[in-house]
Structure 1
Amino acid sequence: MSVLRPLKHGGSQALATQFRLALPQKKTMSQIVHRARNVILEEELNDEEEEPPALPKRVFKMRLSQFDCDYMDEYDFDKDDDSDSEAIPEGIEDESQNAYMTACRDLGIISNKNIMDSLLTSTMTLTNQRLTTKDIRAFSIALLKNSSIDVLTLDSNSLQPKGIETISQILPHKREITELSITNNSLGSLGAKELCEVLVGSSTIKKVDFSGNGFTEKDAEYFKEVLEENNVIKEMNLSHNEMREKGGSVLAEGIVKNDCLRVLDLSWNHLRLAGAAAIGESLQTNNTLEEIYLGWNGFNVRGCLALGKALETNSNLRVLDLTCNRICELSVSQLLKGLIANTTLEVLKLPLNGIYPSGALTLLKVLEKYKTITVSHVDLGTQSVTEEFIQLKTTLEATRKLKVLHGPVLRQELKFSAIQEELDELVEKSIDDLMKEHPMTVLFEFARQQNFRILDMFTTLDSDKSGTLTRQEFEEGFIKVNIPIPNAALHLLLNKMDLNNDGVVDYGELVFGHREYKRKVREAIAEEDFTSTEIGRISTKIKDLMKKKFLMRTF
């Protein structure tokens, strides 16, 4: 199809003939151009099953640029004819609303009230609308005539490939848009490619949120290019995707070369091993990121080692979120080595990690010793702490204006009042009831509820690195994690775990026990009534015991 061109006198008839449009009496040039524009969009972005040949980008850009030409002023020779009002819905004066209603009429779809209302504001928010390709085409035409919208949100709309392609084609022509959110649409690789091609050349979009779109490690290359080439985006959210180990390494290469981004969210991406380490190492070079969110990944010791080294030299990072990253005491020690030399970090988040009460106390002792550390907010989530921790926390909050969030306080001494005695009796009954269950299952279910990995615990408890745990190491370790099992029950547990009766528990025996536990979990999940299964029953008993055993604090 030939490119739409300005026409000389008498052009209405010629343009209508070219695009096979009916020409009612007194039809103006502006209406003919508007209809012809819709024909071009429908032809190039047709959502029929049979895909039309791809249009060269330079040709499409040329056509889109002509949509913005004001044909009425220069070529509308019926300009003063008041029959124009016949094509405009009564009461609609806004040009973009009029364009939207006309597009809906031509495409044979019902107009969307949310879109109509948004066209009069600075924000267009279309969430859970299940937009079809024609819906997107119609509001895209309206956006081309709109100059007020600077925030575009299209979350949870099940966008199809044609839909995201349409959006990607109009974004370069909408310099007003500074924030773009397209989350939970399962865009996949095609969507990643289309959007990243736009962002690489964008000079206006400053904030993007593409979380929950099924992007994989293969798509990391597209975002790496954006990080390397774009010098405008300040905030980027890629959480709840599947970047994994390889994707983390690729993204790290982009972070190293980026000198503009201020906030980056990579949480829930299965970043682990080499990928986690690469992200940490990238912060040794990048000195513009102020906030990085890495929660619900697998940074563990290796990732924390890299982050610790980065903290030694990084002079810009203010917020570090490591929620649920399989972080143990050893991991915390690696972070603290870097924190001692850091002078900018203000917020450190470590909820849902197995750092144990001793790890939490060590963190506070380091903050007390090194006055140059600038951290003012520490979030430990539900991590249980000791009375010594509370005393030190109280001192630091008064002298350093430090805010610390934590879990229950472990009771070291009991006050034998009548009420306390009654409570203790209830606790003992709960323990006896719990130990009627299989001790091994109790151990693994407790670990699951406290969100720490048994194998990580094994490594931490194995102080002499022998690959085995003696009874003493095992019992001392359980005291550290405050597992609600008395000594007599611990002996029974050890007997169950020590399959070859050599007096120690080795790694293989632990793995065998964990495998049996996972089998029971699968069977329990398959049952209609989970609470009636062994796992469900033990889970309920542990929760009940933990409520009775600890004094809870209000924060």
Structure 2
Amino acid sequence: MNDKCLELNHRGLGPRGAAALAKSLMCNSSITQLSLEDNAVSGEGLVRLVEVLRGSRHITDLNLSNNSLGEVGAELICQMLLDNVSLLRIRLAHNEFNDRSARYFTEALSANFRVTLLDLSHNQFCEKGGEFLGQMLAANEGLQELNLSWNHIRMKGAIALSAGLRVNGMLKVMNLSYNGLANDGALALGEALRFNSSLLHLDISCNRISNEGARLLCKGLECNESLRVLQLARNPLTVEGATILLSSITRKPENRIEELDISNVLVNPQFLSLYEVASISRPGLHILFAGKQGFVAKKRQARPDPMKVIQDFLDERKLRLLDFFKNMDKDGNMSVPVSDFCRYIAVSTYRLYAA
């Protein structure tokens, strides 16, 4: 702890500890950063904390990730946000928030424009949650960074979220990785990027977006003049999808993409030639890819099964496995420590070779 930051992560405070801490915070006006990650605070322990936060004018950073806050906790936090005037950055990952919880965040952040960073990753938002959060994006005028990774926002939820992004004029960083957006989500995001002029960084890694999804995304990407970083790693893309993306972001000089992450894709000479040509006019363009097809390191030859090596050795000499191990079991307790086994093999007259 220093004068401004109070970090009590992983301390097992529980509801009672959180209540005691809240009491001490009532008399403190110097702390600006409060981090209570992984403390099993739960909705019960949160009651006293939000009473303090509601009237706080100095705490700007709050981390309550991994505290099993649930729907009750979401409601308490969002009610507090309607009155709080100081919080700027809030981290609430791993808190079992569901679709009903999303509604509370929508109501709060459609009125609170002071919060600039919100981390809601690793929760349980699904289609309906995506619809609520899309409404929030459409109404909010303060958020600059939103992390919704590791949720279940797909289909109607992904479409609604993209619709909110389309009209949002403040958000700069959006993380939607590990959500299962699929090609329909890529299409909706492409449409959003056609009109959005504020987003700088979009992470849609691991979302089941195929080559067709990349093509649909590019329809809007070609018209976008603000995006700098696009992360598409761990999607089922091939060099075909990679080429579609590269062609799209280099077709118009107005496109501002500086980094494209397709780091699981193996490319071919045609892609590399296109990249080389693009680098002349776009020297700042950086593309992360897995390597070149035909130059993938060969897999190591599988090691033989040690037990099979021993058994083959014994079969060849007509020896029994029991006798083999009895020679090592000097105490007769029917067990051989690993260290003794290794030592015996090293000094034994037996020489084991794979067939």
TM-score bracket for the superposition, by shorter chain length: 0.7 to 0.9
Q: Deviations over 1:140-176 (max 9, x none)?
A: 2221121110011110011133311111111123211
Q: Work out which of the residue numbers 6, 16, 39 in structure 2 matches 1:134.
A: 16
- TM-score of the two chains, using structure 2 as the length reference: 0.81
For residues 231-290 of structure 1, give each alpha carbon's deviation from its aligned partner in whole angstroms, at most 9, with x where no partner exists: 111111101000111110111111111111111111111111100111111112111111
Partner of 1:402: 285
> Match of 1:337?
219
- Aligned partner of 1:355 in structure 2 is 237
Structure 1 residue 411: deviation in Å?
A: 1.4
Residues in 2 aligned to 1:357 and 1:130: alpha-carbon distance in whole angstroms: 49
Asked whether the 8 Å contact 1:276–1:298 carries over to 2, the reply is: no
Indicate if the aligned counterparts of 2:43 and 2:68 stay in contact, CA closer than 8 A: no
1:394 is matched by which residue type in structure 2? E
Aligned to 2:312: none
CA distance in 2, matches of 1:191, 1:164: 7
Task: Name the CA distance, whole Å, in 1 between partners of 2:231 and 2:86.
Answer: 32
**Structure 2 residue 157 is the aligned partner of structure 1 residue 275:** yes
Native 8 Å contact 1:133 1:160 kept in 2: yes
Aligned: 1:232 with 2:114: yes
1:125 is matched with 7
Whole-angstrom distance in 2 between the partners of 1:236 and 1:251: 12
Task: Give 5+ residue unaligned stretches, structure 1.
Answer: 1-117, 415-422, 431-555
What residue is the counterpart of 1:265 in the other structure? 147
Structure 2: tracts of 5 or more residues without a match: 303-355
Task: Return the alpha-carbon distance in structure 2 between the equivalents of residues 132 and 369 of structure 1.
Answer: 56
Contact 1:218 1:247 in 2 (8 A): yes
Cα pair 1:387 1:411 within 8 Å, conserved: no
- Distance in structure 2 (CA, Å) of the matches to 1:253 and 1:360: 32
Q: Given the alignment of the two structures, is residue 252 of structure 1 paired with residue 131 of structure 2, yes or no?
A: no
- Note if contact 1:144-1:173 (Cα within 8 Å) is conserved in structure 2: no
Q: Distance in 2 between matches of 1:363 and 1:141?
A: 54
The equivalences for 1:98-109 within 5 A come to none
Shift of the alpha carbon at 1:363?
Answer: 1.3
Query: Which residue does 2:352 correspond to in 1?
Result: none
SS where residue 290 of structure 2 aligns? coil
CA distance in structure 1 between the aligned counterparts of 2:246 and 2:95, rounded to whole angstroms: 39
Cα distance in 2 for partners of 1:199, 1:406 equals: 42
Question: What SS does the aligned partner of 1:134 have?
Answer: helix
Aligned partners of 2:42 and 2:70 also within 8 Å: no
| Shift, 1:398, TM fit | 4.5
Residue of structure 1 equivalent to 2:62: 180
Structure 2 CA distance for aligned equivalents of residues 161 and 361 of structure 1:
49
1:378 to 2:257 alignment: no
The structure carrying a bigger helix percent of its residues is: 1
Give the Å deviation of 1:337: 0.9
Is it true that 1:220 corresponds to 2:102 in the alignment?
yes
- SS at the partner of 1:278? helix
The 5 Å alignment of 1:8-19 reads: none
Runs of 4+ with deviation above 3 angstroms: none
Give the one of 411, 414, 419 matched to 2:294: 411
SS, match of residue 312 in structure 1? helix
Provide the secondary structure at the position in 1 that maps to 2:212.
Answer: helix
Q: Matched residues in 2 for 1:146 and 1:226: separation?
A: 26
SS in structure 2 opposite 1:201? Answer: coil
> Distance in 1 between the 2:149 and 2:43 partners?
26
**Counterpart residue number, 2:310:** none
Q: Which amino acid aligns with 1:217?
A: D
CA contact (8 A) 1:379 1:405 kept: yes
Farther-moved stretch of structure 1 (192-201 vs 157-166): 157-166
Taking the aligned partners of 1:398 and 1:125, their CA distance within structure 2 comes to 48
Larger relative contact order, structure 1 or 2 (CA cutoff 8 Å, min sep 6) = 2
**Is 1:209 matched up with 2:88?**
no
Determine helix, strand or coil for the equivalent of 1:381.
strand
Secondary structure of the residue aligned to 1:384 is strand
Contact 1:280 1:304 in 2 (8 A): no
